[in-house]
Amino acid sequence: MKNFIKFFSLIFILLALSNCVTEDSITKDTDTGVMSKLDIPLDFNFETAKDVTVSFSGVKVKSTNKIKYSVYLYDEEFTNTEVTYEDESGETVNATLQISDALNNKIASFVTSEEIFEMEFTIPSSYNSLYVVKNEMGIFSSSIIEINNQKSIFKKGVSTKATKAAVDIFYGTNGGGDLFTINEVSNELTVISSLPDNTGSYTCAIDPISRKLYTIGNKSPNNLYCFNIDEETWETIGSVNTGGPRLGYNITDGMLYFSTSNYVYVLDPSNAKRIATYKINGLETTSGGDLAFDKDGTMYLSSTTGLYKCEFADGNAIDATWISSETLPNYPNSLTFDSNGELWWATAIGSEGLTFIMDKVTGGFESRSTYPTLIHDLATLPYDESSISDVDTDGDGVIDFYDEFPEDAEKASVTYTPSIYGWGTYGFEDLWPSKGDYDFNDLVVNYRYINIENADGLMVETRLNYVVKNIGGSLKNGFGIQFEMDESLIKEVSGYHLTENIVSLNGKGLESDQTLPVVIVFDNAWANSNDSEIEIVIAYTEPIESSMMGELNPFIFTGGNRGKEIHCANQQPTDLVDNDFFGSYDDKTNVASGVYYKDSNNLPWAINIIHDFAYPKEKQEIMLGYPYFTTWAESGGDLYEDWYKEKDGYRNYDYLNRN
């Protein structure tokens, strides 16, 4: 079976309009500066997206006959942040942290039983790589795959599982370079190896499925080392280039979580690359400690002020809640969960290592053992986690471990546009058919689209999330989306905000008298200007292939006039447009030639950006705020494909509003 998941096609375009004042100003001759002097190729539609086809080659898991894949946008770009913290030895360290964000750019998470198949995605043109993680019953493999000629290949072999132990075994490291095991049943501590390169470590984490231990050296360049527990061999994975005391393995995504100061990095254990960065809010102190994950994926973190429960929030943030007792004998420099869900912590006092058990709700604790060796970090090799539960609560054929909706038999997987946490932006000028001032801010709408698929990879629901980000004019503008699909596939639409009695709906919640289905999100932006999120939910009459949805066509209608539609360049209007506007004033639409919503300089009246757009200030042309926009547009989109990003030299905030 050839399974195609096609996201909403993203047509990114620019604007060409005027001052957003009143409808009366539509006839004025606006001086638009230099935007109108740009030399734009005739066939350029200001698109900043491309379709890519990824060929997958996988291996079936016999116990479930399915494999889970997660796909992320990926690039090698980092931003630097200077921090100061105290390491485990009490020394003050000044470091430069590199911030990355790939894990927040997930575009798909799906389950398949196919060994060889293809998927089609629509992604920003500026991306030339994807990050793909394959999950085979808790055995994770990953790859950064290059995109060449809009094609890419993911192929990964299978990791092997070793035999499991009869009891939980703790593995530990210390600053002196010891790798040791602890058996809490017999109170035995055994040094089994020394870290490579004559280094020590304050970190330790275990992948219990592959039976591999990871640790980061405390000497520059702070290498990530992997110890094969069964073969008792070391491998140097790569350089982390940052020291720090906290490290944990998350079995739910197969990643290492490494923390220094009030930051958490997500590291790919196969290559030591930083995939994402989070900032921790709520720590009383930011030095020392460790982190660990409970079975449900909840992260717990300690510092010199004790234990915190962590919750991942929006905007690359982690909110930490303090839960530990005020009577700890010393701070927990190590955290680990055993197979019964008990939270163990350890500390170093003098030349000894002490272990404790702590209640993760109340912070209460009790002492367990004392060992004649310093303990700077512990990790657990559980006796029962070498196999993943194959429980399928909703009976849809996708086990809970894979299922994005484990209690809903109709839903299993998700795809996102532009990404799981990212927002795209539509910007409109509302004086069409007259030119505007090219500030793209008359109506600015953030969007995120979510397709939900069932166990067979068929789409059962679509969620359209919107936020009115800015209203730069005085007109009452409505906003809608036209779908290039058969209306009979749609069962019902809910969530729209209509207040002006200028839109008629049919029994499905779609606009009446339309050949193609049209959803009117709102008919007056001013009634939705409180930054609250609007969620439109589309239910289908039966599960459909995602390719049947076709392209999305966003538009506004201005001044309470339903027939005065403004679309992106070369996007066709709906059946309710007033055709008398075409060819009037500055509009050079030629219906016979298939040219829509462009002026004589090939500039459009709307823009679609797969990014949270910092829109220009009033009457400031977009090229002033985005220095590389001009080069991008005049090159037909070949140069500076990422002109809208927040990178050095890419934005001039003298002309832009900050998000």
Q: Give Cβ neighbours of residue 210 (< 8 Å, ≥ 6 apart).
A: 139, 140, 159, 161
The answer to whether the beta carbons of residues 39 and 92 sit under 8 Å apart is: no
Sheet holding 478-483, edge to edge: 518-522, 478-483, 552-557, 565-567
Q: What is the pLDDT of residues 142-153, one digit of tens each?
A: 788 888 877 666
32-46, 164-178, 414-428, 576-590: least confident range:
164-178
Mean residue pLDDT of the chain comes to 85
Mean pLDDT of 325-353: 83
Q: What is the pLDDT of residues 617-630, one digit of tens each?
A: 999 999 999 999 99
The answer to whether the beta carbons of residues 476 and 525 sit under 8 Å apart is: yes
Entry pTM: 0.72
User: According to the model, what pLDDT value does residue 563 have?
Assistant: 98
The torsion angles phi and psi of 99, rounded to 5 degrees, stand at -95, 125
The answer to whether the beta carbons of residues 70 and 133 sit under 8 Å apart is: yes
Q: What is the pLDDT of residues 580-623, one digit of tens each?
A: 999 999 999 999 999 999 999 999 999 999 888 899 999 999 99
CATH code of the domain made up of 51-155 = 2.60.40
User: According to the model, what pLDDT value does residue 577 have?
Assistant: 98
The residue among 420, 94, 126, 144 whose CA lies nearest residue 274 is 144
Q: How far apart (Å, rounded) are the C-alpha atoms in residues 568 and 49?
A: 14
User: According to the model, what pLDDT value does residue 284 have?
Assistant: 87
Mean pLDDT of 423-444: 94
Mean pLDDT of 634-644: 95
Mean pLDDT of 385-395: 77
Going by the DSSP 8-state scheme, the letter that residue 329 receives in this structure is: S
Q: What is the pLDDT of residues 180-223, one digit of tens each?
A: 999 887 788 889 999 999 999 999 999 998 999 999 999 999 99
The residue among 115, 141, 124, 112 whose CA lies nearest residue 49 is 124
Mean pLDDT of 40-52: 86
The answer to whether the beta carbons of residues 44 and 452 sit under 8 Å apart is: no
The torsion angles phi and psi of 608, rounded to 5 degrees, stand at -125, 115
Evaluate if residue 59 carries a pLDDT over 60. no
Mean pLDDT of 516-543: 96
The residues facing 267 across adjacent strands are: 256, 274
Evaluate if residue 165 carries a pLDDT over 50. no
Q: Residue 162, SS3?
A: coil
User: According to the model, what pLDDT value does residue 630 have?
Assistant: 94
Evaluate if residue 94 carries a pLDDT over 70. no
Q: What is the pLDDT of residues 274-313, one digit of tens each?
A: 999 999 999 988 888 999 999 888 999 998 888 899 999 8
Evaluate if residue 157 carries a pLDDT over 50. no
User: According to the model, what pLDDT value does residue 23 have?
Assistant: 34
The answer to whether the beta carbons of residues 375 and 353 sit under 8 Å apart is: yes
- Domain coordinates of the chain in residue numbers? 51-155, 169-381
**What CATH class is the domain 169-381?**
mainly beta
pLDDT bracket for residue 51 (50, 70, 90)? confident
6-15, 114-123, 465-474, 537-546: least confident range:
6-15
User: According to the model, what pLDDT value does residue 75 have?
Assistant: 81
Evaluate if residue 240 carries a pLDDT over 70. yes
Asked if residue 573 has a cis previous peptide bond (ω within 30° of 0), the answer is no
Q: How far apart (Å, rounded) are the C-alpha atoms in residues 195 and 219?
A: 11
Q: How far apart (Å, rounded) are the C-alpha atoms in residues 330 and 374?
A: 13
Evaluate if residue 112 carries a pLDDT over 50. yes
